[in-house]
Structure 1
């Protein structure tokens, strides 16, 4: 029996247009064509209301790490709903689900992390991050350390503070600014590296942080916040020289190093957390998405033992908290999700088998294409860079239009991939099989070829 009485796609679209403003789209233009109406998911496969099948190459929004239709996650939610559907973490109260989640989560994290503040999303995790970092420095007797440094083209969410911390200028223009936030350039070698080698450019990009800290005064800078690899900004992987130098600078100037692991966490790169792949040790981790495989909203901020001890032992009352922090149903689903990732060896399989297979197949299929200048990726995340001229790394003036067209053709071919500027992004579920990776890569190649033909490239 279907959960909802089936209506026509046109009826759903009309009601959607009447009541919704969608994310990151021109709503008037969307209303003219109508959104796709997704009705079912299983594994990596989605079906829309008209029965068309899609292979989801983006894990929803980078979150369905276990794919769709996992009955163990459904059962965990159902059992918790029946026993304790909700209680809060106010009023000197806790509950077994959130306690057991933290026990499991910290068994998977490196040992220098000790405490979590749970939220409902990555955006909220980064809101909490800003307040927690500033409160930490107050407790440490340095209340003047308030400035947060992010990166241009970084993304940390769509709430006010998270938007300001991120570096999407078009979002800033829509009101997304707060005081005491600064930015440095992104480590995007293909676009900005010039004649430098990736290694030399990585050092140059990292040392912008040192310059900015000195300009602002180290005594005023609280933290540097960045994604281990940029997600919404184009799936940009920094050169290997970048993160060790960033860490050196943060330690030298007593600036907290904060990793936004909302996309990279929970196995995406073949390690449990992306910072492990890139070889650095953050003071905080912002988490969400893969924590529950997207089945129930949940996020959080992970704190190092050093920060948590200061806040607990010396901080007194910390005025933070959300109605749904540590929600029991979300916690129960997170436990089932993390146990599956651990006990089924999924993260290890991404590292040793399916991740390398995806990266190899993409390069075999597309690295030789005259308009693909670069294939980047690690584990189960990758990006293709459209280019007008490979030798000079010249990008198309209309690269966003080209990539958007390629994304649209992907839907026609029955795959879901994403475009950002001139880059096509793929991030399939961690449970993808070789056959599903083959389908994703082959249909992406068709979409790229059709795009080149359409634009006469």
Structure 2
């Protein structure tokens, strides 16, 4: 190891607080620092010279892959021409104006405007405020509760961390806060009653949702938020018929629908948006990650015409809307997004995600679907998960102290592939860049099988 590498590791331990990290273990040096220094295609390289196939695209986000010069050049060009100007009071710059048109052209039908932020968390904060504003303008001040789902991930601020339905994001943070509620995740593998058919399970989920709305009083429930396919909570595709039935209930009680497409947007499911993939017609759509492939921080809320008309009415009554960020519609980030969306089209990555995603899913199922400690192989598009269990026939989970999912992820990394151990279960997740090839999919599968066999040989 070079002196520079050792110096960076020391500075990292002494000065940097990492997100989603066991901070004590990191500060004490028990958790090894990995300093990433480069990337190309689906591979990343660290300062020690080790190369890994990134089968999680960073954090579900590097859709076009690493090292795309077109995006780097767009960022540099914009930085040289105009690095920043704000978007307040009707000011604009060319890149975000152009990008907003590109997004609406690609969005599901009925969408009208885009508000830009910098992260999925701040976009969902925007959603909450817009929903409350919307109902106040309509003279419904009690209609403010928002229903999320357990195992959902919608951010980690005070309010979006409340929307998130994972214990890790609530522990010792005094979350969730009102007026956020949680209903059951559409997680068929973990259904309490093993005798339930998928259709029966869907109906049970929807019945619980409707019962919650009725118990809370429909005139107090403003919105329902859901990822088209649950991501960080386990890569859980919705059971057949789930979204159609959920939307029927929401329509019955005049409840807005937020589709959180931070993960599923811009091609990951083999369609531009997960909403179109699952026939969801949202009132608001949350976007980030794949919008720029994380080459620059950018998020957005896509606003339906239905909601937009009420926002206009509110502004006519109240004046300028009191919401925004210093870096809303940042021109450098928007320039990155324009180049990224052009690359998605030029490289035909949505078709590739659909085709290679189906191949990866099939190959993982064939290789591990009958393994005695694999409860389920699931996924959609270029998202896949393998869930490990102690007893396959009876769906008995491992004791959490064994950290089986983390062990498999570590063994996989030793074999040069990055998968991600997902929370609240022994679940290994995959969400590689959309440029993944069949050969690279084979590497993921072969390495995963080797890792699984190595870990379970010790049990």
* Higher mean C-alpha deviation, range 95-104 or range 383-392: 383-392
Q: Is 1:177 paired with 2:171?
A: no
Alignment-derived partner of residue 84 in structure 1: 82
- Residues 231, 399 of structure 1: alpha-carbon distance in 2 compared, 3 angstrom cutoff: farther
Q: Is 1:418 paired with 2:415?
A: no
Give the distance between the partners of 1:377 and 1:32, measured in 2 at CA.
33
- Residues 202, 249 of structure 1: alpha-carbon distance in 2 compared, 3 angstrom cutoff: same
Choose which of 382, 390, 396 in structure 1 pairs with 2:384. 382
Give the distance between the partners of 2:164 and 2:449, measured in 1 at CA.
32
* Higher mean C-alpha deviation, range 190-199 or range 143-152: 190-199
* Higher mean C-alpha deviation, range 60-69 or range 31-40: 31-40
Contact map agreement 1:147 1:181 (CA 8 A) in 2: yes
Alignment-derived partner of residue 3 in structure 1: none
Give the distance between the partners of 1:290 and 1:241, measured in 2 at CA.
27
Give the distance between the partners of 1:293 and 1:437, measured in 2 at CA.
20
Give the distance between the partners of 1:33 and 1:159, measured in 2 at CA.
25
Give the distance between the partners of 2:302 and 2:101, measured in 1 at CA.
13
Alignment-derived partner of residue 62 in structure 2: 64
Alignment-derived partner of residue 155 in structure 2: 157
Instruction: Give the deviation of 1:177 after TM superposition.
Output: 3.2
Give the distance between the partners of 2:303 and 2:343, measured in 1 at CA.
24
Q: Is 1:245 paired with 2:249?
A: no
Contact map agreement 1:228 1:278 (CA 8 A) in 2: yes
The residue correspondences of 1:390-401 to structure 2 (distance < 5 A) are 390-398=392-400, 401=403
Contact map agreement 2:225 2:259 (CA 8 A) in 1: yes
Give the distance between the partners of 2:375 and 2:416, measured in 1 at CA.
25
Contact map agreement 1:207 1:245 (CA 8 A) in 2: no
TM-score, normalised with respect to structure 1: 0.96
Instruction: Give the deviation of 1:39 after TM superposition.
Output: 0.7
SS of the aligned residue for 1:91 comes to helix
* Higher mean C-alpha deviation, range 181-190 or range 292-301: 181-190
Alignment-derived partner of residue 455 in structure 2: 451
Instruction: Give the deviation of 1:375 after TM superposition.
Output: 0.7
Instruction: Give the deviation of 1:245 after TM superposition.
Output: 0.8
Give the distance between the partners of 1:427 and 1:262, measured in 2 at CA.
13
SS of the aligned residue for 2:83 comes to coil
Q: Deviations over 1:346-374 (max 9, x none)?
A: 112222x2121111111121112111111
Give the distance between the partners of 2:189 and 2:204, measured in 1 at CA.
14
The residue correspondences of 1:325-344 to structure 2 (distance < 5 A) are 325-344=328-347
Give the distance between the partners of 2:441 and 2:206, measured in 1 at CA.
34
Instruction: Give the deviation of 1:400 after TM superposition.
Output: 6.5
Structure 2 stretches of 5 or more lacking a match?
none
Alignment-derived partner of residue 53 in structure 2: 55
TM-score, normalised with respect to structure 2: 0.95
Instruction: Give the deviation of 1:399 after TM superposition.
Output: 7.4
* Higher mean C-alpha deviation, range 201-210 or range 427-436: 201-210
Instruction: Give the deviation of 1:207 after TM superposition.
Output: 2.1
Give the distance between the partners of 1:29 and 1:41, measured in 2 at CA.
27
Contact map agreement 1:240 1:278 (CA 8 A) in 2: no
Instruction: Give the deviation of 1:7 after TM superposition.
Output: 4.7
Q: Deviations over 1:414-457 (max 9, x none)?
A: 11101122111000000011111111111111111111112x1x
Contact map agreement 1:417 1:426 (CA 8 A) in 2: yes
Q: Deviations over 1:61-101 (max 9, x none)?
A: 10000010000001110111111110110133011111100
SS of the aligned residue for 2:266 comes to coil
Q: Is 1:19 paired with 2:15?
A: yes
Structure 1 stretches of 5 or more lacking a match?
1-5
Q: Deviations over 1:302-335 (max 9, x none)?
A: 1111101110234333211001111001101101
Contact map agreement 2:108 2:275 (CA 8 A) in 1: no
Contact map agreement 2:137 2:313 (CA 8 A) in 1: no
Alignment-derived partner of residue 324 in structure 2: 321
Alignment-derived partner of residue 292 in structure 2: 292
Q: How many pairs align?
A: 449
Instruction: Give the deviation of 1:23 after TM superposition.
Output: 1.6
Q: Deviations over 1:219-257 (max 9, x none)?
A: 000000111111111111121121111100000000001
